[in-house]
Structure 1
Amino acid sequence: MRKVLNKVSELLCVFLLVFVSCREKNKAPTSEAINSMNLKVGEIPFCGPADKQFGAVGFGTSCSEKIQKEFELALALLHSFEYDEAEKMFAKVIDLAPDCMMAYWGVAMCNYHPLWAPPSQSELKKGSKAIIIAKSLTSKSKRESDYLDAIASFYKNWDKIDHRTRSLRFEKAMEVIYKEYQNDKEAAIFYALSLIAAANPADKTFENQRKAGSILNELYRQEPNHPGVVHYIIHAYDSPELAENALLAARQYASIAPSSAHALHMPSHIFTRLGLWSESVKSNLESIASAQCYAEQTGIKGHWDEELHGLDYLVYAYLQKGENVLAKKECDYLQSIQVANPVNFKVAYAFAAVPARYLLENKLWKEAAGLQIQKTNVNWNDYPWQRAILHFARLLGSIHIGNLDSARVELKQLNSIHDILVNQKDEYKANQVLIQIKASEAWLLFKEGQEDEALKLLYVAADMEDKTEKHPVTPGEVMPARELLGDMLLQMDKSAEALIAYEADLKKHPNRFNGLYGAGLAAEKSNQIERAAFYYRKLIAIANSPGASRPELEAAKMFIKKKGALYSTIR
């Protein structure tokens, strides 16, 4: 109750400051009201070529023409999810033209970040203050008022109404704007973004994503250099079923906004979906270099969060190419990082997933069983979902080295984390941990000799995972449940069934190293020599760099040398 009263009091103060200013001048809010937002300020770092930076946008406003260039740069940054830098530019616009209502709209948009984690309490307060100030300004068009009302619908009663409900309100408000202002390209772009943000992760028809993609593809013909258009096409089609539709946009986005580390990284979402590992490596190497440039120019303490996000995708791509040496090098580099800023869900995920992924994919079970949480500036109590990855890795490691007691201890931790997420009403992450729990229980049952029960439970886990989309923060599950099912079936000498499991997994995770090898091995063991040759050849083609070194790769090459020479395709 006290928190609610404090919030009301704080916002009332902003309102009074604005009200007094408007009565006196009817032009601009007081400096006290503006300062109360505590906006980010500073110079914008440019880490790309001088002729291209963040793409081209056009957005007419009723604000002074003298700030149009700054406003459109802020908007371009917003479209590439460079939220801190966009806020800095909107703050500059406010400094130059404090009566520019759309600059306050921009501040509110910067603190929403719809496809990332929900805004923090401080971000929600900042966005609310910006809206109060914006609503006090009289020099705005009806179109601008409609834009403001749309984002205001997201912030309204944020302390009482859940994030998803408020995101759905924003989507409905943007739909009205999209239909009313049919020649307003930005309305169409932001409506498409709102559709993607409001999509149900369990909807395998991808209704919202397809609708957004249709809108954006039509705009793409008119605005091929607009950062938001190509960026949101990638997000709309970021699923195995739709990814092919975004390949052209993925290959273009980096050249449109080369100063944005996120723009350089984002194409790798599609490359990962399609198993284009070399392109993913290139994308993330460029993104990491840009993120390091950004940190240096802005004086960030430690490492920027975008660098760690890129590292996670980079290590994943190296592992699929069999590039263990390079993957290990990046893992060691991550281990050297003690401070990352800002501390958020991306940072915590990278710290947890990268080492777990390396050990599990290489089946280094002993090392996985002893995996420790890295000592950094992350408060792991704030990130239960990410912390679950470490317990899951230790559990799988313990099971495979025969230490079932330790595995059961880790299972208790997973159950505890699941309860935390349920209590937090975070349905998606709770479900992700539940999949890990069911897969873990299945492996425990298997090791205890209860094979039928183990298989039933692991099929349930795999089906659950198939029905749920991965979170955009991750290139993929640290160990896909259906791949684990294939591994279990192989250990049960059920090779034909294992092949079915691996092939199903490869449809969702194309060109995964362990999926290809598992499919080849299962086909070999079930005497499907032609099919085994197909998968082994595909593995060899994917892991074709000079540095690729995995025992599975050598086994595949040996098979082809001895038995596969006559089989190059599946009839």
Structure 2
Amino acid sequence: MSTSNISRLTGAIACLLLCTCRNNGKAPAPEQIAALQLKEGKLIVCGPLQSKFGTLTFNATVSDANVAPFALGLKLLHSFEYDEAEKVFAGIIQSEPSCYMAYWGIAMSNFHPLWTPPLPEELKKGATAIAIAKKLPSPTPREAKYLEAIDAFYAGYEKDSHRTRCLRFEAAMRDLQAAYPDDREAKVFYALALDAAADPADKTYQKQLVAGELLNTLYASYPDHPGVVHYLIHSYDAPGLAQNALEAARRYAALAPSSAHALHMPSHIFTRLGMWNECIQSNQEAASSAQCYAEQAGIKGHWDEELHALDYMMYGYLQQGDNLNSRKQLNYLSAIREVHPANFKVAYAFAAIPARMALENKDWKKAATLQTPSANFDWTAYPWQRSIIHFARALGAAHTGNQANAALEIGIMQQLHDTLIAQKDSYKANQVAVQINIARSWWYAGQGAIDTAVSYMELAAAMEDNTEKHPVTPAEVLPAREQLGDLLLSIGRPKEALVAYDKSMKKNPNRFNSLYGAAQAASQGKEKARAAELYVQLLKMATANSDRPELSVARHYHEMYN
């Protein structure tokens, strides 16, 4: 045999071996893949003409043609663009049906940690994708570990709780990154797993701090990695920690401007730090991107990410006393009848935005008559969100002297709390319990039972201190310690009220009502210098077009003592 023939034969054998390694098992039957009902179609991008989702590399066993698409799928996963990520992994499966890691990508696309638990159909899709992959020979032990990790979440989903499965995913990712210490993505996904498994009642933020430390070791070398930057924000999205993620927050939108979630996510840190201009701008851009996405995707109505951005934007406007723009957002929301997908965060925005408008302005008459918005979902599926409306009504009734209606609303909230207990959703039940105690406090105050009122409000504040807000919310509808300050101020105890306001502002800096309440408490407590300082801070923070009457008081005080 000639040398050239030997060379050609050697090349053919090498090619055969390579193809066998890449596709070393019978491909799943077309009907198996079709049964997954994968999201397919053109990738939807809103933002720069050249799509930008950050930079990363990942060593996966895929054909050369699918190396870049696989990396894109990972980038989309890291920015929580789950529908688009699934499209990318579905495209890989279409061209390479035996691609083991593409099925892992489908399962990851239906997990969405840090959001709401997957729907039954998403759990079924993820579990089925894993089952298909398990029938394929794993290309490498490392990739087998990746599948085992996500399988730890989906296994037993019919009977095991979401939290139990998140903890299993965390443990599996810990083992994976320990087994492959040079695997950058393993570390990034382990950080995500830690954040997803964190206990909202853990005020030491143990898991988040471990995640943050891990991500900080990567950030210096990979500042454009979307997962590193995104999960730094989530890891430090807590009082006292947010400053640690300010650089990441300022960077994330610029490195992944084609993601609506990446445009929104920095506002978590801006909100924690009371940076309202930045918060508003971030969510204006996110809402615009979400509108673009809905149009391109052919979504009837609005995309859920838009309402999520509106909730944060509304919160920022209200803290600047900007009722003009707040009313615009409320009117815009009031005209919305259909959102897709209709889910947990959509229900939260529909309930919280109108409630915040009334409560932050202390428009008690409006709050007392607040109506449940009409939308394309069943409110009975969302007891916590429904409770926000009844919370607003209870406070409105109590502050306008209608104690009977206040008691009625508190009774409804108690029923919603009991529903959540029956559903074994202790976190949301606790959130409702805090609101019940605030409402009870104002009801007792209206009855003249001041000591009982203070006891209930102190209980609410202690309960809120011992838990953390849900990641989907910008903040509590009304902070319990701020409410304690309002109550103490109303009964002539300004020095104690100032202590309550200061504690509230430590957790929620630059809140309009906390600043104003603290200034009043300082003034009544004969701390004129402190009052002047707080009033100036309020005036600097408020927008020029604000019609809030509190600002007239602040200006008058400032003129008197300067």
Deviation at 1:26, TM superposition (A): 2.7
- Asked if the contact 1:150/1:173 (under 8 Å) is kept, the reply is yes
Cα RMSD over matched residues?
1.1
| Distance in 1 between residues matched to 2:477 and 2:395, nearest whole Å | 11
Correspondence for 1:201: 200
SS across alignment from 2:220: helix
- Asked if the contact 1:319/1:358 (under 8 Å) is kept, the reply is yes
Name the amino acid aligned to 1:425: K
Unaligned runs of 5+ in 2: 1-22
Note if 1:562 corresponds to 2:556: no
Correspondence for 2:540: 541
Unaligned runs of 5+ in 1: 1-23, 566-571
SS across alignment from 2:444: helix
Name the amino acid aligned to 1:282: Q
SS across alignment from 1:425: coil
SS across alignment from 1:468: coil
Task: For 1:366-377, list aligned pairs within 5 A.
Answer: 366-377=365-376
| Distance in 1 between residues matched to 2:514 and 2:555, nearest whole Å | 16
SS across alignment from 1:28: coil
- Asked if the contact 2:79/2:226 (under 8 Å) is kept, the reply is yes
| Distance in 2 between residues matched to 1:244 and 1:322, nearest whole Å | 24
| Distance in 2 between residues matched to 1:397 and 1:157, nearest whole Å | 45
| 1:354-409 CA-partner distances (Å, limit 9, x unpaired) | 00001000011001100001111121011111000000000000111111111111
Task: For 1:412-491, list aligned pairs within 5 A.
Answer: 412-491=411-490
| Distance in 1 between residues matched to 2:500 and 2:71, nearest whole Å | 50
Task: For 1:54-203, list aligned pairs within 5 A.
Answer: 54-203=53-202
- Asked if the contact 1:27/1:138 (under 8 Å) is kept, the reply is no
| 1:525-570 CA-partner distances (Å, limit 9, x unpaired) | 1111011011111111111x3222211112111100112x1xxxxx
| 1:141-179 CA-partner distances (Å, limit 9, x unpaired) | 110000000100111111111111111011000001111
Correspondence for 1:307: 306
| Distance in 1 between residues matched to 2:439 and 2:426, nearest whole Å | 20
Note if 1:29 corresponds to 2:28: yes
| Distance in 1 between residues matched to 2:41 and 2:160, nearest whole Å | 34
Name the amino acid aligned to 1:291: A
Judged with a 3 Å threshold, the aligned counterparts in structure 2 of structure 1 residues 139 and 465 are, in CA distance, closer, same or farther, namely closer
- Asked if the contact 1:62/1:139 (under 8 Å) is kept, the reply is no
| 1:407-432 CA-partner distances (Å, limit 9, x unpaired) | 11101110000000000000100000
| Distance in 2 between residues matched to 1:496 and 1:235, nearest whole Å | 36
| Distance in 1 between residues matched to 2:397 and 2:444, nearest whole Å | 14
| Distance in 1 between residues matched to 2:42 and 2:419, nearest whole Å | 41
- Asked if the contact 1:216/1:233 (under 8 Å) is kept, the reply is yes
TM-score, normalisation: structure 2: 0.95
| Distance in 1 between residues matched to 2:80 and 2:214, nearest whole Å | 20
Correspondence for 1:390: 389
| Distance in 2 between residues matched to 1:443 and 1:108, nearest whole Å | 48
- Asked if the contact 2:24/2:137 (under 8 Å) is kept, the reply is no
Note if 1:38 corresponds to 2:69: no
- Asked if the contact 1:171/1:198 (under 8 Å) is kept, the reply is yes
Correspondence for 2:14: none
- Asked if the contact 2:501/2:518 (under 8 Å) is kept, the reply is yes
Deviation at 1:50, TM superposition (A): 2.8
| Distance in 2 between residues matched to 1:125 and 1:171, nearest whole Å | 21
| Distance in 1 between residues matched to 2:324 and 2:31, nearest whole Å | 55
SS across alignment from 1:511: coil
Correspondence for 1:14: none
| Distance in 2 between residues matched to 1:553 and 1:396, nearest whole Å | 23
- Asked if the contact 2:25/2:98 (under 8 Å) is kept, the reply is no
Deviation at 1:52, TM superposition (A): 4.9
- Asked if the contact 1:49/1:259 (under 8 Å) is kept, the reply is yes
| Distance in 1 between residues matched to 2:65 and 2:349, nearest whole Å | 42
Percent of matched pairs sharing the same residue: 55
Name the amino acid aligned to 1:105: W
| Distance in 2 between residues matched to 1:322 and 1:370, nearest whole Å | 22
Name the amino acid aligned to 2:438: A
| Distance in 1 between residues matched to 2:358 and 2:343, nearest whole Å | 24
Correspondence for 1:356: 355
Correspondence for 1:378: 377
| Distance in 1 between residues matched to 2:496 and 2:490, nearest whole Å | 11
Deviation at 1:139, TM superposition (A): 4.8
Correspondence for 2:237: 238
Kindly report structure 1 stretches of 4+ aligned residues shifted beyond 4 Å: none
Correspondence for 1:511: 510
Correspondence for 1:551: 549
- Asked if the contact 1:52/1:256 (under 8 Å) is kept, the reply is no
| 1:228-255 CA-partner distances (Å, limit 9, x unpaired) | 0000000000001100000000000000
Deviation at 1:25, TM superposition (A): 8.8
| Distance in 2 between residues matched to 1:384 and 1:407, nearest whole Å | 18
